[in-house]
Amino acid sequence: MSNYWDKIDKEFLSNWQFSEKHLNDESFNWLIDFIKTSDVESILDVGCGAGALLYKIIQANIHVKYTGIDISKNQIDIAQKAFNEFKDSFHHIDSIENWSEKVDVVVLRHVLAHQDTLEQMQTLLSKSVQLSNKYLVIIFHLNPGSEKILYRASKQWGNAIEQNWTHKELEEPIYSNVPSAKIDKIELPYSGKNKKKDKEIIWLITLQ
Ligand SMILES: C[S@@+](CC[C@H](N)C(=O)[O-])C[C@H]1O[C@@H](n2cnc3c(N)ncnc32)[C@H](O)[C@@H]1O
């Protein structure tokens, strides 16, 4: 899994720059509205990649403490290069199990899809719940359990796509950490480049 990202990162590293085309997914607008209107002062972006969420936060002029962590060293290098002023906000991690700083909201955007096994997915989810004081936001490309297959994704990443996990398997690590957690499922119109095919789904998990 991390090898895949390291490989594509090398290709992108030399000429990566942010542009609106990478950032026009509805989920970013939803996230920005959520941050603006909720009682959150700090965010942990798990699997932050090149830092797209920080770009949106800066663009929206929101004052919130942002931290991005990723298992791909190359993605973190790209982010630190792109956001020189915020380079201390990005951290390379070997595993989420080594991270301990708690925040108000943990975001997992298009990350669960890339876990190779059910166990890895559940560990990531469980630890994400533990790192949050208030909310966990999970953004999926497709609804878990969906009949649809992302052929491109399944070819590149094996079968580890999020629709392989059932809702129950996803909910287990959330409820086992916080039995009273409230899970709201929000379906967004997908506005990215595969407009016709995909639909983003958000799980907003309120932990208190
Ligand atoms: C599709 S990218 C999404 C990047 C970013 N969240 C966004 O929305 O633009 C997936 C990222 O998740 C990272 N990732 C995958 N599994 C991870 C894990 N277990 N812990 C932390 N990062 C992970 C990958 O290295 C990659 O940068």
70-97 pLDDT tens trace: 999 989 998 998 888 999 999 999 999 9
Taking a C-beta distance cutoff of 8 angstroms, is the pair 129, 101 a contact?
Answer: no
Dist. CA 207–CA 2, nearest whole Å: 30
Mutate to test the pocket of ligand 1, among 32, 56, 70, 136 (most ligand atoms within 8 A of CB): 70
| Annotated domain spans of the chain | 2-206
Dist. CA 56–CA 21, nearest whole Å: 13
Over residues 59-69, the pLDDT tens digits come to: 899 999 999 99
Q: How far is the CA of 61 from the centre of ligand 1 (A)?
A: 24
Predicted model pTM: 0.86
- Residues lining ligand 1, judged by CB closer than 6 Å? 1, 5, 46-49, 52, 70-72, 75, 96, 109-111, 114, 124
Q: Where does 2-206 sit in CATH, by number? A: 3.40.50.150
Ligand 1 atom with the shortest distance to the CA of 22: 9
Can you tell me which residue has the tokens 């792109």? 82
Distance of alpha carbon 160 from its chain centroid, rounded? 15
Torsion angle of C-alpha atoms 33, 102, 117, 11, degrees rounded to 10: 70
Residue 39 is predicted with a pLDDT of 94
